[in-house]
Amino acid sequence: MPVETTASGIPIYAVPALGPALPEIIMAVGVLALVLYGALRGERSTGVVTAAAIALMAFTLGFVLTMPAETQITFADAFITDGFARFMKALVLIGAIVALAMSREHFRRAGIDRYEYPLLILLAAIGMMVMISANDLIALYLGLELQSLAAYVIASFHRDNARSTEAGLKYFVLGALASGMLLYGSSLVYGFTGSVSFPEIAAVLTEGANPGVIFGLVFIAAGLAFKVSAVPFHMWTPDVYQGAPTPVTAFFASAPKVAAMALAVRVFMGAFLTIVDQWQQIIVFIAVASMFLGAFAAIGQRDIKRLMAYSSIANIGFALLGLAAGTQQGVEAVLVYMAIYMVMTLGVFACILAMRRGGVELETIDDLAGTARTHPGFAFAMAMLMLSLAGIPPLAGFIGKYYAFWAAVEAGLVVFAVLGVIASVVGAYYYLRIAKIIYFDEPVGAYEPMPGFLRGVMAVSAVFTVGFWLVPAPLVAAAGVAARSLF
């Protein structure tokens, strides 16, 4: 580290270039302003703060999309923006915007529409963006914790609800455990490679890894697996998904999953790519275990939010299979998969949020019975989304799975790809059953009218799911560009 000095020997440190981090900075300044506004105006400000938060994220999204595609590094190599970051940040922001916009109506009815919620979402979004742009272990941890701390709070956002508080507590305890492991692993890696920076770690590891690094890697993998809720660190997911208020669950299921997956890609592809054969087994194990547990456990569920939790576990398993490939194609598969997964998830949650009768939230799958007759549009969207989650062609979910399998097979993981296919057969059972309940069972009664925004999200998601195979090129091409920037 040669440092320029003045004539008298005092070192000069250049001010880091702020340009690459401008989206995060805009968000951070915005959220500070909104905190002040909210604190001064009190509860009455909820509507304004929510709208402003959405506008802020939308503006940042536009900003991110117009940023130049070439790779830029700043903050002493800690922070990177590239095509990958752009793709993932766009996804995360879209997820956060939609999740936030879907929440307002729900919170108002539950009597908990506080201005803190949009602020926490914003903070989580900043954390996720830092995660995506992390280029060293410190930035990784910063982003991860910023996102997690906000998430712990919003999980128990419904403070007077025992389940919601329990969800928050469980999430926190297990999350803290995972963070601890991640930190421990990071310090081991730092100690044995002499650097926290991903490219430098990668450079050191070209000569092979010593056991200390592998140990550190195990802990880091455990911490990351917790964040993407992969087996066996998935335990929090069903409880938190069920306990947290539904809009919060919608948020958890969408943007943070994408961000955590992006982080995993950054770590494994950025820092540890040269020792791929050391971690491939771990990731493959986690991926296969997730696919199977997600598929099997979903079968026993009656609660649709728990079901979505298991669905997310299984889906993450498929995405991880793409990551395990350790190739550019694998990253591309992960990107396509996560994009498709996020759109489907938001659509499903729009449907779940619309399931209300007599002012009561409905949460079991039996409440979907016969909606084909009472709400044909809703039923069609929900059925298509479920079939897509099951990976039935030609729906979008199938195409995501296909890319993941393909990448895994190309990387020589044939057996695991076939295991993945078997797991998706098991999983298909449950989603098909839901399609059966929607179409063939006796209707219970009509829901309350669906708010316009939810209807819009549902429609867009369903159209995307059904029509994706006709025009897959834009997304696939964008994912290809993003994946290329990593290699």
Partner 1 sequence: MSVTLALALGLIGSILAPFAAARWKTIGNALVVAVPALLFIFFFLQLGAVGEAPIVEENPWVPSLGIALTIRLDGFSLLFALLISGIGTLVALYAASYMDEKTPFYRAQFLFYILLFMSAMLATVTADNLMALFVFWEMTSLLSFLLVGFDSTKLAARKAALQSMLVTVGGGLSLLAGIILIGVTAGTFSIGALMENPAPLVESPLFTAIIILMMAGAFTKSAQVPFHFWLPNAMAAPTPASAYLHSATMVKLGVFLLATMAPIFSQAAWFGPTLVAFGGATMLIAALQALRSTAFKAVLAFSTVASLGTITMLIGLDGEVAAVATVGFILAHALYKAALFFCAGIVIHATGEPRLNRLGGLASVMPITAGATVLAAFSAAGLPPFVGFISKEYLFEAQIESTFTAIAVLIGVLVNTVMVAIAVVVVMRPFFRPARRELHVHHGEATGMTVGPVALGLIGLLFGLAPGLVATSLIQPAASAIYGEPLDVSFYLWHGFTPMLALSILVVALGLLVAKYWDPIHVALRRRRIFDRLLDDRGYYWVLDNTLALARWSTLRLQNGDLRIYTAVIATVVTFFMVYALLAGDGPVFPSVNHPEFNLYMVGVVGLIIVGCFVAALTTSLVTAIIGVGLAGYGLALVFLLNGGPDLALTQFSVETLFVVIVTAVLLRLPLMFTKTRTPGERRYDASLAAVFALTIFSAVLWVEAVPFNPVIPEYFAQVSYTEAFGRNVVNVVLVDFRALDTFGEIAVVAFAALGAWALLRRNNVAKKKPAATPAKEG
Distance of closest approach, residue 440 Cβ to partner 1, in angstroms? 4
| 301-320: contacts with partner 1 (CB under 8 A) | 301-303
Given 28, 145, 433, 463, the residue binding partner 1 (CB under 8 A): 433
The C-alpha atoms of residue 282 and residue 231 are separated, in whole angstroms, by 11
Nearest-approach distance from CB 417 to partner 1, in angstroms: 7
Instruction: Report helix, strand or coil for 442.
Output: coil
The answer to whether 380 contacts partner 1 (rule: CB under 8 A) is no
* Per-position x/- string for 434-473, each x denoting binding to partner 1 as judged by CB under 8 A, each - no binding: -xx--xxxx--------------------------x--xx
DSSP-assigned beta bridge partners for residue 73 = 80
Are 241 and 252 within 8 A, CB to CB?
Answer: yes
Hey, which residues does 72 pair with through a beta bridge? Answer: 81
Instruction: Tell me the backbone φ, ψ of residue 81, rounded to 5 degrees.
Output: -120, 135
Residue from 46, 193, 246, 249 in contact with partner 1 (CB under 8 A): 193
Q: Check if the beta carbon of residue 55 is closer than 8 Å to that of residue 30.
A: no
Question: Would you say 440 or 487 has its CB closer to partner 1?
Answer: 440
From CA 226, how far away is CA 181, in angstroms rounded?
10
Query: In the window 247-266, what residues touch partner 1 (CB under 8 A)?
Result: none
Q: Please, which residue, 39 or 55, has the CB nearer to partner 1?
A: 39
Cite the DSSP H helix spans in 156-303. Answer: 162-193, 198-205, 211-227, 236-243, 246-253, 255-265, 276-299
- Window 38-77: contact mask with partner 1 (x via CB under 8 A): ----------------------------------------
Q: How far is the CB of 160 from partner 1 (least distance, A)?
A: 8
Q: Does 224 bind partner 1 (CB under 8 A)?
A: no
Binds partner 1 by CB under 8 A, chosen from 93, 134, 144, 222: 222
CA dihedral 233, 236, 238, 240 (to 10 degrees): -150
Report angle CA 216, 221, 227 to the nearest 5 degrees: 135
Count of residues interacting with partner 1 (CB under 8 A): 86
Considering the complex, what minimum distance in angstroms separates the CB of residue 319 from partner 1? 17
* Strand 356-357 with 79-81, pairing: unpaired
Does residue 166 touch partner 1 according to CB under 8 A?
yes
**HSE of 181, CA atoms in CB hemisphere, 13 A:** 18
Separation between Cα atoms, residue 467 and residue 347, nearest integer Å: 14
CB of 254 to partner 1, least distance (A): 22
Identity of the residue, 18 or 477, whose beta carbon is nearer to partner 1 in the bound complex: 477
Which CB atom, from 233 or from 251, has the smaller least distance to partner 1? Answer: 233
Among 52, 88, 132, 174, binds partner 1 (CB under 8 A): 174
Which residue, 104 or 375, has its beta carbon nearer to partner 1? 375
Among 18, 32, 69, 210, binds partner 1 (CB under 8 A): 210
Which one of 20, 83, 95, 243 is in contact with partner 1 (CB under 8 A)?
A: 243
Going by C-beta distance under 8 Å and a sequence separation of 6 or more, which residues neighbour residue 87? 335, 478, 479, 481, 482
Quick one: tokens of 258? 């994408």
Tell me how far CA of residue 260 lies from CA of 37, 161, 238, in angstroms: 31, 28, 18
Q: Which amino acid is at 19?
A: G
Q: Kindly identify the residues of this chain, within the stretch 143-162, that bind partner 1 according to CB under 8 A.
A: 160, 162
Residue pair 114/245 in contact (Cβ under 8 Å)? The answer is no
Shortest separation between residue 477's beta carbon and partner 1, angstroms: 5
Strand partners, 357: 360
Which residue among 4, 44, 70, 211 contacts partner 1 (CB under 8 A)? 211
